[in-house]
Amino acid sequence: MRAHGDDGLPARGVRALLRRSRDYLEDTAGGVAIVFSISVLPLLALAGAGFDFLTVSNLKSQLQAAADAGALRAARELRLARSGTYDLGPIAQSAARAVLQRSTQPLRAIDIKATLTDNNSAVQVNISALYEPRVLRVFYGNAIKIGVQSTARTKGFPICALGLDQTALGVATLYLESKAQVTAQFCAVQSNSKSPVGITALSSSKLTAGQICSAGGTLGIQASFSPLPQNDCPIVPDPLASRPPPPVGGCSRTNEVIDGGTVTLMPGTYCGGLKATNGAIVTLSPGEYVMKDGPLTVDGGATLNASNAGVYLTGVKATLQFAANSTIKMTAPVTGPLAGILFFEDRAATPYQTHKLTSNNAPLLLGTIYMPQGILVVDANSPVAQQSAFTIIVARRLMLMAGPNLVLNSDYGSTNVPAPGGLTPGYSYLTK
């Protein structure tokens, strides 16, 4: 007797039917798999392309942020050196790359360029880079180039005289009297003092500048100022606060006195200071000179010449003393720790010690005079620094006595002596 299935078919017939059904389903499943694979390829490509487009968009945003940072940083430097020959490229590149270092996205061939525009009043930064797409490369064949641009402008005049003292209540940080003059037609004069007499001009003295700004107030008749001062200005931080001083080595010379004659000196540490007197003609060779525990004195009709030389004042009684009958002609170094700095007072110096520039023949003082603790007194009967391409004074206090005319030029582009950045009573802002 033959066995039957549940539907009455013989068992052999049932097995055959099941086998044919299984074979059909396997053949059909293969076709479905092929059709599914073909249909999903465009979806995968679209998803991959979307990833690339999103990545490119993110990268462009990151490049734009870097370009904005570079433009703003370069514009801040531009405030002090508005010159077509001033190379802002390294400044912009440094700020932009600092932003890009935080990016985890793949970029290569990054190119950052900075140029001056609009009569040297703005900085334009262009950044381009290449991105290797994951899917879009099939269509492009090459890496995708991404480019952005940012422009920053600067307002306000570059500062060429800055009084740092904020605590002097009732005392002027910038003080003129007895027909003294400051002539700074194309730059700004700023006092950080909150005192109501932070800038004082008395007794027929005259302060002429592109801009006069006091964090506190001013004292003097209207005729003493051109233009009229602005009061309650924002405090300008010390632009050289992060500048490291030059190294102080062992004593090269001790209590050095040049008494007459013609002498050329070499850089080094002058323990006890240096004095030129009795008609001596002293030339400082290029480099850094450290006056340790003693002053730099020029008197007795002596002459001090220096080309590309800077002086660091440190220790007890390390001051400047330039007598009325002295002759001073100096330009700051172009490179090295004192690049752009003529005189650098130790920040640990005794506060309010006095540096005297009373020479009636000091036509050339090219560079920055930095006295963060001291009082610089200019007391001469002749113009001072008038032959300098630029002179910048950053001091705790600046006082002009008698009848000097301190000329603060700002022709930064005519010399290779660098000027520090960050000096402005104005501001920088991005433009589209």
Contact 184, 160 (CB under 8 A): yes
| Domain termination residue (choose one: 107, 127, 155) | 155
| 327 CB-near residues (< 8 Å, 6+ apart) | 298, 302, 303, 304, 359, 361, 362
Q: Give the range among 11-25, 67-81, 235-249 with minimum mean pLDDT.
A: 11-25
Alpha carbon distance 61, 48 (integer Å): 20
Alpha carbon distance 428, 234 (integer Å): 14
Contact 207, 176 (CB under 8 A): yes
Burial degree of 300 (CB within 10 A; 0-12, 13-18, 19+):
middle
Q: Give the range among 240-249, 314-323, 338-347, 387-396 with minimum mean pLDDT.
A: 240-249
- Looking at the structure, tell me whether residues 185 and 296 fall in a common domain: yes
Instruction: Tell me the two tokens of residue 127.
Output: 């950044």
- Looking at the structure, tell me whether residues 109 and 207 fall in a common domain: no
pLDDT given for residue 375 in this prediction: 97
- Asked if residue 18 belongs to a domain, the reply is no
- Asked if residue 21 belongs to a domain, the reply is no
- Looking at the structure, tell me whether residues 195 and 165 fall in a common domain: yes
- Alpha-helix runs per DSSP H in 171-236: none
- In this predicted structure, the answer to whether residue 218 has a pLDDT above a threshold of 80 is yes
- Quick one: which of 136, 74, 147 has its CA closest to 109? 147
- Looking at the structure, tell me whether residues 87 and 218 fall in a common domain: no
- Quick one: which of 338, 347, 398 has its CA closest to 368? 338
Q: Could you tell me which residue, 144 or 405, shows the higher pLDDT?
A: 405
- Looking at the structure, tell me whether residues 121 and 170 fall in a common domain: no
Q: Give the range among 33-42, 212-221, 403-412 with minimum mean pLDDT.
A: 33-42
How many domains, in total, are found in the chain? 2
| 391 CB-near residues (< 8 Å, 6+ apart) | 160, 365, 366, 367, 368, 369, 385, 407, 408, 409
| 278 CB-near residues (< 8 Å, 6+ apart) | 259, 260, 300, 301, 302
72-107 confidence digits (pLDDT tens): 877 766 654 444 455 677 878 888 888 888 766 678
**CATH assignment of the domain containing 125:** 3.10.450
DSSP symbols for 259-292: ESSEEEE-SEEEEEEEEEETT-EEEEPSEEEEEE
Q: Find the Cα–Cα–Cα–Cα dihedral 254, 257, 262, 267, rounded to 10°.
A: 30
- Asked if residue 132 belongs to a domain, the reply is yes
- Asked if residue 170 belongs to a domain, the reply is yes
Q: Find the Cα–Cα–Cα–Cα dihedral 346, 347, 351, 357, rounded to 10°.
A: 50
- Quick one: which of 120, 175, 106 has its CA closest to 411? 120
Burial degree of 143 (CB within 10 A; 0-12, 13-18, 19+):
middle
Q: Could you tell me which residue, 194 or 422, shows the higher pLDDT?
A: 194
- In this predicted structure, the answer to whether residue 25 has a pLDDT above a threshold of 60 is no
What phi and psi values does residue 206 have, to the nearest 5 degrees?
Answer: -145, 125
pLDDT given for residue 262 in this prediction: 98
DSSP symbols for 335-399: SSTTTTEEEEE-TTSPTT-EEEE--SEEEEEEEEEEEEEEEEEE--SSEESTT-SBEEEEEEEEE
pLDDT given for residue 44 in this prediction: 45
- Is residue 234 reached through a cis peptide bond, with omega within 30 degrees of 0 on the bond before it? no
Q: For residue 305, give its domain range.
A: 159-431
- In this predicted structure, the answer to whether residue 15 has a pLDDT above a threshold of 60 is no
Alpha carbon distance 266, 343 (integer Å): 17
| 102 CB-near residues (< 8 Å, 6+ apart) | none
- Looking at the structure, tell me whether residues 151 and 168 fall in a common domain: no
Q: Dmax of the chain from CA atoms? A: 146
- Asked if residue 252 belongs to a domain, the reply is yes
- Looking at the structure, tell me whether residues 229 and 124 fall in a common domain: no
Alpha carbon distance 147, 341 (integer Å): 39
- Looking at the structure, tell me whether residues 243 and 151 fall in a common domain: no
- Looking at the structure, tell me whether residues 253 and 391 fall in a common domain: yes
- In this predicted structure, the answer to whether residue 263 has a pLDDT above a threshold of 80 is yes
| Domain termination residue (choose one: 123, 155, 187) | 155
- Looking at the structure, tell me whether residues 292 and 251 fall in a common domain: yes
- In this predicted structure, the answer to whether residue 257 has a pLDDT above a threshold of 70 is yes
Q: Could you tell me which residue, 220 or 49, shows the higher pLDDT?
A: 220
- In this predicted structure, the answer to whether residue 118 has a pLDDT above a threshold of 60 is yes
- Asked if residue 57 belongs to a domain, the reply is yes
| 204 CB-near residues (< 8 Å, 6+ apart) | 178, 179, 224
- Asked if residue 23 belongs to a domain, the reply is no
Helix, strand, coil tally for the chain in percent (to 5): 20, 40, 40
- Asked if residue 189 belongs to a domain, the reply is yes
